[in-house]
Amino acid sequence: MNKQLFTKITITTLIAIVCGIKLSAQQLSINPGPYQPTEESFSRYQYPVWFRDAKFGIWAHWGPQAVPRHGDWYARELYQEGADDYKDHLARYGHPSRLGYKDIIPLWKAEKWDPEKLMALYKKTGAKYFVSMGSHHDNFFLWNSRIHRWNAVNMGPHKDVVGIWQKAAKNNGLYFGVSEHLGASYTWFQPAHAADTAGQFKNIPYDGNDPQFQDLYHTRAAPDDREWLTTNREWMKEWYNDVKELVDSYHPDLLYSDSKLPFDEIGRSMLANFYNGNFNFKEGKPTAVYTCKEFSNGKWVQDLERGVQDSISPYPWQTDTSIGDWFYSTGQKYKTSTDILQMLVDIVSKNGNLLINIVQTPEGDLEPDILKTLDEIGKWIAVNGEGIYDTRPWTVFGEKPDMADSIKGGNFNEEKMKYTDKDIRFTSKGNTVYAFCLDVPDGDIHIRSLGKHASLNTKKIVSITMPGSEEPISWQQNDESLIIKKPVHLPDWKVLGFKIMLQ
C-alpha cells in the first residue's frame, strides 16, 4: 500500500465542528497515519499478501477458565444458579458469594507451559500464523497491562503470556495475532452481580457485588443493557483504551474481535488506530489484518465462528473454530485430523483461512491425542501444502454429491458439513489446478468440472500427479468429466490431493 502519512482533518470532522456536534471519536487518541475512523477511509484497505498466502493458523484460546476443567464460559456460568458450572464450583471451591472467579485466577499457574516447544510443533504442523488470546469475556488480561491490575503478570502465572507467545512465534517465523473478547465482557459478566433465589444462600450477593472487585466483574449494568455489546458509552471508551494498549504495546499482525466491529465510531477509531499503528511500525509496509464477525466489503476480514462459506467469497475471510471445547474440559471429544483437513481444504477453496484453537490443559501442555492429530496434519501438509499455501480459488470451489443437502454459509454450521468421497475441492496456482477428493473413493474419481465439454476450463490438461507419490496416475478426459483411476497405493490419510498441470 503506497500511501503517504497524513493528518488532515476529515470532512466528517469539519462538518461535526461546524454543526457543533461532539463526536466520541474526537475524544480518543488515535495513532496518526493514512486511516481515519470512517467507512470511506477503510474502503482503501488492501489485504496483506501474507494472510492471503498463509491459509492456516493456530490459536491459543487459553487462560484461567481452563483451571476448573469444565470448558467454556465458566467465569459466567458459575454465577448462574443451578447450572452445571455453578454446581461444580459450589462442590469444589465454595459458594460464589465468598469464593468466585477472582479465586480461580490464582490457581492458573501454567507450570507446564513451554511456548517455544509448542510453537515449533505448530510450525511443523503447518501453521503460518499464531494467535494468542489477549483477554476473554472474563476481563482477565494476558498481557502486561499498565491500566488493569487483573493481568497475567500480576496474578496467576506471573508471566506476560502475550509477549512470550509473540517472541516464540517470531523465533519460528510465524506471523502473530491477538484476540480480544472484551466488547462483550460488560454484559456477559452481569450474573456475578446476582444472588441465589433459594436455599441456604438465598439473597446473599455474589462476590461481583463487592466494590473492591468490580474492576474485574465491572459495575452493574443498566436494566436494559443486555445485548452482546454494551450500550454504556463509558464502557465503550474503556474498551477502546484496553484494546489500544494491547495493539500499541505488541504491534500484532492480526487482531480478532469476538463480535461485529464494536461500538460504531468508537470501534472505527479502534480500527483506524490499529491500522495506522501497524503502518507506522512496519515503516509503510503494513501487515495488519482485522477479523470480526461482520461482512467485510473489503474493509477487514470477515470471521465465521465454527462455520464456513457456501461459495467463493470475493474477499479473504476466516473460519475460527476449536479442536474441541474452547477451554479445557475433562473427557471432551476432539476433532480428528481428517475432520480438520477436510475443513481446511473446503475453506481454502472458497478464499478463506482456517484458524483453529488447540486446547491446552490448565498447566499449559497438550494431551496425547491432540499431539497425534497435529502430527497427522503435519505429515499431510508436508506433502500437500503446495496445493494449500499461496493458492487462490479456481473458477469454482468444487463439486458436491448430486443429492447433497444445501447448507447456507455462516456461523455455527460446521456440524452440518458432511464431506464424502464425491466432494471435490479446487485450488489454483498459475497453470496448476489442485483437485482434492475429501474422502477415499470406492472407485475411480469423476470430476465433471474438467470434462471436455465443461465451460470452466479452456486449457489442455498436460499431466496429473499425486504429490508425495511416485506412482503414475492413470486418467482420461471424456466429454462429461475427467476420470482419475483410483491409485493402487494410497497414503495414510483420507483427503487425497491431485496436481493437474494445464497449458
Q: What is the DSSP string of 173-216?
A: T-EEEEEE-GGGHHHHTGGGG-BBSSSTTBTPBPGGG-GGGHHH
Domain boundary among 344, 366, 387: 387
Q: Based on the structure, what is the number of domains in the chain?
A: 2
Q: Is residue 336 part of a domain?
A: yes
Domain boundary among 337, 360, 387: 387
- How far is it, in rounded angstroms, from Cα 366 to Cα 43? 41
| Full domain range(s) for residue 375 | 49-387
Q: How confident is the model at residue 432, as a pLDDT?
A: 98
Domain boundary among 347, 362, 387: 387
For residue 173, CA distances in Å to 120, 169, 299, 391 come to 10, 6, 27, 20
- How far is it, in rounded angstroms, from Cα 11 to Cα 15? 6
- Structure letter (DSSP) for residue 283: T
Name the 3-class secondary structure at 60.
strand
- How far is it, in rounded angstroms, from Cα 321 to Cα 138? 19
Mean pLDDT of 207-233: 98
- Structure letter (DSSP) for residue 290: E
Strand 424-429, strand 398-399: pairing: antiparallel
Mean pLDDT of 438-452: 96
Is 160 found in the same domain as 94?
yes
Is 80 found in the same domain as 181?
yes
- Find how far residue 113's CA is from the centre of its chain: 21
For residue 147, CA distances in Å to 75, 216, 239, 396 come to 22, 12, 11, 49
Is 335 found in the same domain as 222?
yes
Residue 18 clears pLDDT 50, i.e. is over it: no
Q: How confident is the model at residue 8, as a pLDDT?
A: 31
Q: Is residue 243 part of a domain?
A: yes
pLDDT bin (cut points 50, 70, 90) of residue 26 is low
Is 197 found in the same domain as 160?
yes
Mean pLDDT of 53-66: 98
Q: Is residue 30 part of a domain?
A: no
Is 431 found in the same domain as 331?
no
Q: Is residue 192 part of a domain?
A: yes
- How far is it, in rounded angstroms, from Cα 291 to Cα 411? 14
Mean pLDDT of 341-363: 98
- How far is it, in rounded angstroms, from Cα 2 to Cα 191? 49
Is 178 found in the same domain as 304?
yes
Q: Is residue 258 part of a domain?
A: yes
Mean pLDDT of 137-153: 98
Q: How confident is the model at residue 27, as a pLDDT?
A: 77
Is 183 found in the same domain as 156?
yes
Is 348 found in the same domain as 496?
no
The amino acid at 481: S
- How far is it, in rounded angstroms, from Cα 242 to Cα 265? 16
Q: Which of 124, 59, 47 minimizes the C-alpha distance to 392?
A: 47
Q: How confident is the model at residue 405, as a pLDDT?
A: 86
pLDDT bin (cut points 50, 70, 90) of residue 81 is very high
Q: Is residue 43 part of a domain?
A: no
Is 82 found in the same domain as 144?
yes
Residue 250 clears pLDDT 90, i.e. is over it: yes
Flag the least confident range among 78-82, 310-314, 401-405: 401-405
- How far is it, in rounded angstroms, from Cα 448 to Cα 189? 53
Contact 503, 462 (CB under 8 A): yes
Q: Is residue 1 part of a domain?
A: no
Is 410 found in the same domain as 383?
no
Provide the mean pLDDT of the chain: 94
Is 323 found in the same domain as 225?
yes
- The answer for residues whose C-beta is within 8 angstroms of residue 492's C-beta and 6 or more apart is 376, 379
Flag the least confident range among 9-13, 190-194, 285-289, 465-469: 9-13
CATH number of domain containing 376: 3.20.20.80
Q: Is residue 406 part of a domain?
A: yes
CATH number of domain containing 419: 2.60.40.1180
Residue 213 clears pLDDT 80, i.e. is over it: yes
Contact 479, 452 (CB under 8 A): yes
Is 155 found in the same domain as 105?
yes
